[in-house]
Chains A and B, each alone.
Chain A
Amino acid sequence: DADVTQTPRNRITKTGKRIMLECSQTKGHDRMYWYRQDPGLGLRLIYYSFDVKDINKGEISDGYSVSRQAQAKFSLSLESAIPNQTALYFCATSARGSGTGELFFGEGSRLTVL
């Protein structure tokens, strides 16, 4: 089983719908992240959380919200999906003290907004 698990792996939805992407990890890491990947743009940070009570906006947080339900669970929500949120979304974790450089990624959730 993967250490960082994302659900769903693929989702097609319509403009205006609410979508939740879920991430759970068994690595015991405190830090969790949500990135999106678009062709030619690399990985961009949406939100990050250093512990259950610490949530921070990343580079591109507009249109997204997150919830850290437990140390092992970090969910990303799109309240009203729009087509330019079509992308590949990755959840990642890192250990405290790693300098945030060594990230462990989930397998990705491909979201298509029509």
Chain B
Amino acid sequence: QKEVEQNSGPLSVPEGAIASLNCTYSDRGSQSFFWYRQYSGKSPELIMSIYSNGDKEDGRFTAQLNKASQYVSLLIRDSQPSDSATYLCAVSSGSARQLTFGSGTQLTVLP
């Protein structure tokens, strides 16, 4: 059973701070890693993807991947109240490259 683990939170950070979201996965053969954001009552939307070890930056978002430790993280710099949402980690593995999702971390950015 492939597992993707996230702290459910809630995680609260003040406006302007760095929010750090973490995810671990069990399948060492996993190839691709994704972060989805889901606002309350809405559908998930992709915000970051990362495929190789290291950091990938996109605006205020940085995804970090460490395959040896089977660990992927998402950093949100200068957090805004509009970043308040649930963040879902997703991992692609297997011949069909199906996504396995974590249960999500609820982030609240306090004004």
Question: A and B: partners?
Answer: yes
CB-contact partner of B96 in A44, A100, A106, under 8 A: A100
Q: Is the interface of A mostly helix, strand, loop or mixed?
A: loop
Bound Cα distance from A40 to B8, whole angstroms? 8
Bound Cα distance from A24 to B43, whole angstroms? 16
Q: Is the interface of B mostly helix, strand, loop or mixed?
A: strand
Residues in A with CB closer than 8 Å to B46 are 101-103
Bound Cα distance from A48 to B92, whole angstroms? 14
CB-contact partner of B92 in A41, A42, A99, A108, under 8 A: A99
Bound Cα distance from A101 to B98, whole angstroms? 8
Interface range for A: 20 to 34
Using A40-B8, A43-B44, A108-B43 as known contacts, say yes or no to A101 and B49 having CB atoms under 8 A apart: yes
A residues lining the B interface (CB < 8 Å): 40-45, 48, 56, 58-59, 90, 99-103, 105-108
B residues lining the A interface (CB < 8 Å): 4, 8, 31-32, 34, 36, 42-46, 49, 88, 90, 92, 96-104
- Listed A/B pairs (30) with beta-carbon separation below 8 Å: A42-B88, A42-B103, A43-B88, A44-B101, A45-B99, A48-B96, A59-B100, A90-B44, A99-B97, A100-B92, A100-B96, A100-B98, A100-B99, A101-B32, A101-B34, A101-B46, A101-B49, A101-B92, A101-B97, A102-B34, A102-B46, A102-B49, A103-B36, A103-B44, A103-B99, A105-B43, A105-B44, A106-B43, A107-B42, A107-B43
